[in-house]
Amino acid sequence: MNKLLTLGEFTISYKITGAGTANLIAFPGFGRPPEDYEAFSDSLGAKYRIIILNHYHHFDSVYPEDRIEKDPVSGKHFGQLLELLFQVENISTCSLIGYSMGGRVALFVLTLIPSVVDTIYLIAPDGLKQNFWRGLGTMTGLGRLVFKYVTEHPNLFFRICLTAKCLKIINAKLYKFAVGQMQSSQSRWQVYNTWVSYRKVNPTISQIARCTADYSINVELIFGEFDSVIPASIGNQVAKKIPNSKLHILPFGHGLMNESVSMYFKERVLLI
The 10s digit of each residue's pLDDT in 100-139 is 999 999 999 999 999 999 999 999 999 998 888 788 889 9
Quick one: DSSP state of residue 55? P
SS3 state of residue 221: strand
- Which CA distances in Å does 188 have to 20, 51, 145, 196, 199? 38, 28, 14, 12, 16
Average pLDDT over every residue of 136-149: 90
- pLDDT for 7: 94
Question: For position 272, what pLDDT does the model report?
Answer: 60
C-alpha–C-alpha distance, residues 250 and 24, integer Å = 22
Q: How far apart are CA 201 and CA 86, in angstroms?
A: 21
pLDDT digits (tens, 9 = 90+) for 32-51: 999 999 999 999 999 999 99
- Strands 10-17 and 3-7 turn out to be antiparallel
Q: What residue ranges of the chain are covered by domains with CATH 3.40.50.1820?
A: 3-130+202-269
pTM tops 0.85:
yes
Q: How many CA atoms lie within 13 A of 26 on its CB side?
A: 28
pLDDT in tens, 153-204: 888 888 888 888 888 787 887 788 878 888 899 999 999 999 999 999 999 9
CA 72/CA 77 separation, integer angstroms:
9
| Nearest CA among 19, 13, 20 for reference residue 34 | 13
CA 32 distance to own-chain centroid:
10
CATH architecture of 3-130+202-269: 3-Layer(aba) Sandwich (3.40)
Tell me: the pLDDT tens digits for 88-101?
A: 999 999 999 999 99
- Give me the pLDDT at residue 133, please: 77
